Amino acid sequence: MSQFDLLQPQRQALREQHSLLSQKVSELLQNAAYAAEAAVRLQIEKQMNISLGTQGTLSTIVEWIRQLLNAEGISSERM
């Protein structure tokens, strides 16, 4: 039996651990994105004294920011 054969179970275990870690990182990044969106929504609601509720998607928020910037004479082309 070669060294390669002896290491095969460890290599498989490492692949499985890597796969699980990658999945967890993806979940954490998705949760961070949701948290960031919620934080932006709350800040906009607070500053504008409005309620976006659960219908305020990030694209809606971005569009409102564009409108606010345009109203202030600031170009929002880079958004």
Query: pLDDT tens digits, residue range 13-55?
Result: 999 999 999 999 999 988 888 888 788 878 877 777 766 665 5
Residue 22 · residue 43 · CB < 8 Å: no
Residue 2 has pLDDT above 70, yes or no: yes
pLDDT of residue 66: 78
Region 5-15 average pLDDT: 90
Range of the domain at 27: 3-71
Q: At 57, list the tokens.
A: 């998607």
Inside any domain, residue 79:
no
Confidence of residue 10 (pLDDT cuts 50, 70, 90): very high
Inside any domain, residue 64:
yes
Q: Which residues of 53-71 are buried (b: 16+ CB within 10 A; e: fewer)?
A: eeebeeeebeeeeeeeeee
pLDDT of residue 14: 94
Question: Rounded to an integer, what distance in angstroms lies between the CA atom of residue 61 and that of residue 40?
Answer: 8
Inside any domain, residue 65:
yes
Inside any domain, residue 48:
yes
Inside any domain, residue 22:
yes
